[in-house]
Amino acid sequence: MSEHLFADATGFAGLALRPELLKALTSLGYEEPTPIQREAIPPLLEGNDLLGQAATGTGKTAAFALPLLHRLEPDAKGGPAALVLVPTRELAEQVSQAVHRYGRDLGVRVLPVYGGQPIGRQLQALQRGVDVVVGTPGRVLDHISRGTLDLSDVRTVVLDEADEMLDMGFAEDIEAILAETPQTRQTVLFSATMPPRIDGIARRHLKDPVRIQMGREASAPGEIPLVRQSAYIVARAHKPAALGRVLDVEAPTAAIIFCRTREEVDQVTETLNGRGYRAEALHGGMSQDQRDRVMGRLRAGSTELLVATDVAARGLDVEQLTHVVNYNVPSAPEAYVHRIGRVGRAGREGAAITLAEPRESRMLKAIERLTRQRITLEKVPTVTDLRARRLELTRAALESSLQTDDLERFRVVIESLTSEFDIETVALAAVKLAHEAAGGDVDEQEIPTPRETVRERPEGRDGKRPERRSGPAGAGVARLFIGLGRRAGLRPQDLVGAIAGESGLSARDIGAIQITDRFSLVEVPESAAEMVIDAVSQTTIRGRKPTVRRERYSR
């Protein structure tokens, strides 16, 4: 694969684009190409195939859209001249809108095609004729099979976010679509990561491609990175409360909170709404109309938090996004890179926050190695921190009112009160009322700091691991049944580690342990029993997910 050097000329004018494109870019306020645009546009204008590795937010849409539009023939007859394949409906809409904006002075006809939209509208547009089709693989293949989309005149095919399309199971669809396009086409492939499957597609379908690799634009020496990355180590049972506190302190304008499952999305959304936030769920169980309404409310500012699974959030691009929160550490470091790429764009600051359970600390290290950036470990905000934050919000609200509001009509109240009280006491009473109206002081329990590691107990002299035997549970102590025993290879330290690591209890809070062949009994403080049941039942011990409940009878 050949390499391409940086273009020397500065500005878009130095890239030899059509005057109509330069005019559109000027009207949109684009002054200087991003690094990936400087690297990609010249070889694409020359007709080369291109394989690009680029994170979200680097400007890759314009990098392939501008050359694609430059090479279009005005008033060409026949089928579309360009096809852009993307993983999601949201990305299809975004790319389609971008191509339309750049090519408006060329009279370019652009059509997004995707599932969840009435196909009749798409059929009518295809019959009238289009120049560029931007679509998801499934719907594009559907049109091909119906005979309503003819790709025999396509000159350029773009595979955008190719790794995402493969992760979503579109590999066979992509192969079938490419088989319908001319062998003489120009092929452009962009992907945030380059797993072997992407390399395989490149070898089969790209001809001596120019290869470029771009990360997010680096900060200048001495500058703070635009994306502030931090993590909080917190036991699973305390994660809902920890999330609420972190959001209280961060006060995001708009944030996406990533969860692993639909059930977790619904639970977290309910928790946040109960805390007074305007949170919306977004997952694969929702219809396209529901998804559209949720995104509309987020972009309009009537929703401030979006709680989503990775699959549901693919392709989303929210301009005003200030925070990305990982409710769990992503299982693959590449997924972390995808997520944080949504903030810190166009010179704006952003924050990427991760809630990590004690056993996930190693995964944070793997992410740091991949990104070559440090993730700062923070302490979960205390009750004192929250009270200070709420007082600061009250102060800020009063300062804003002093600067912008018409306060004169309240002077009569002040004058009547200051005849009996001094002005400072009156001000304090007013601040107290404003503070209480905004929610007042925090009335919550402190969140314990979990133990990150639990030392294993030594083996006995006979080589067997000791077992802590149980007597009757005393007052204030609950005995829990855990459906794993010796046959699963269970050891006392496994139980201590799981309970301490997941619930936040210390090892000394855990009482007697009895392990039999098929199950185990563990004593914990009665006050923490339900929390331990909930936390441990959601984790794995010795590779298995155990049944956890209160013991039903005494032994």
| pLDDT, tens only, 438-455 | 666 655 677 777 653 333
| Residue-level pLDDT at 318 | 65
Q: Render pLDDT for 480-500 as a digit per residue (tens, 0 to 9).
A: 999 888 888 888 878 887 887
Confidence of residue 324 (pLDDT cuts 50, 70, 90): very high
471 pLDDT higher than 50: no
| Residue-level pLDDT at 292 | 78
Q: What angle do CA 95, 148, 157 make, to 5 degrees?
A: 40
**For residue 426, what are its two tokens?**
């009156």
Residues of the chain with CATH 3.40.50.300: 2-214, 227-382
437 pLDDT higher than 80: no
Q: Render pLDDT for 369-427 as a digit per residue (tens, 0 to 9).
A: 777 788 988 888 887 777 777 787 778 778 878 887 788 888 888 888 888 888 888 88
Query: Among 3.30.70.260, 3.40.50.720, 3.30.70.330, 3.30.450.20, what is the CATH number of 477-550?
Result: 3.30.70.330
Mean local confidence (pLDDT), 226-239:
88
266 Cβ neighbours under 8 A, 6+ residues apart:
281, 283
2 pLDDT higher than 50: no
- Architecture category of domain 2-214 in CATH: 3-Layer(aba) Sandwich (3.40)
Confidence of residue 189 (pLDDT cuts 50, 70, 90): very high
What is the distance, to the nearest Å, from the Cα of residue 314 to the centroid of all Cα atoms in its chain?
9
| Residue-level pLDDT at 12 | 85
Least confident of 79-88, 310-319, 431-440, 540-549: 310-319
317 pLDDT higher than 50: yes
Q: Are 474 and 517 in contact (CB under 8 A)?
A: no
**For residue 273, what are its two tokens?**
């709404």
pTM attached to this predicted model: 0.49
The Cα–Cα gap between 240 and 232 comes to 12
| Residue-level pLDDT at 55 | 65
What is the distance, to the nearest Å, from the Cα of residue 257 to the centroid of all Cα atoms in its chain?
6
Mean local confidence (pLDDT), 253-257:
89
The Cα–Cα gap between 553 and 555 comes to 7
Confidence of residue 336 (pLDDT cuts 50, 70, 90): confident
Q: CB 404: neighbour CB atoms within 10 A? A: 8
| Residue-level pLDDT at 347 | 55
Q: Which range, 153-157, 334-338, 470-474, 538-542, is most confident?
A: 153-157
473 pLDDT higher than 50: no
| Residue-level pLDDT at 443 | 58
Q: Are 497 and 454 in contact (CB under 8 A)?
A: yes
| Residue-level pLDDT at 145 | 92
Q: Render pLDDT for 293-304 as a digit per residue (tens, 0 to 9).
A: 888 888 777 888
- What's the topology of domain 227-382? Rossmann fold (3.40.50)
| Residue-level pLDDT at 56 | 61
Least confident of 57-61, 283-287, 449-453, 502-506: 449-453
Least confident of 81-85, 179-183, 307-311: 307-311
**For residue 128, what are its two tokens?**
């009238």
Q: Are 479 and 551 in contact (CB under 8 A)?
A: yes
Question: Residue 128: is it exposed, middle or buried by C-beta count within 10 angstroms (0-12/13-18/19+)?
Answer: exposed
The Cα–Cα gap between 452 and 233 comes to 8
157 pLDDT higher than 90: yes
Confidence of residue 44 (pLDDT cuts 50, 70, 90): very high
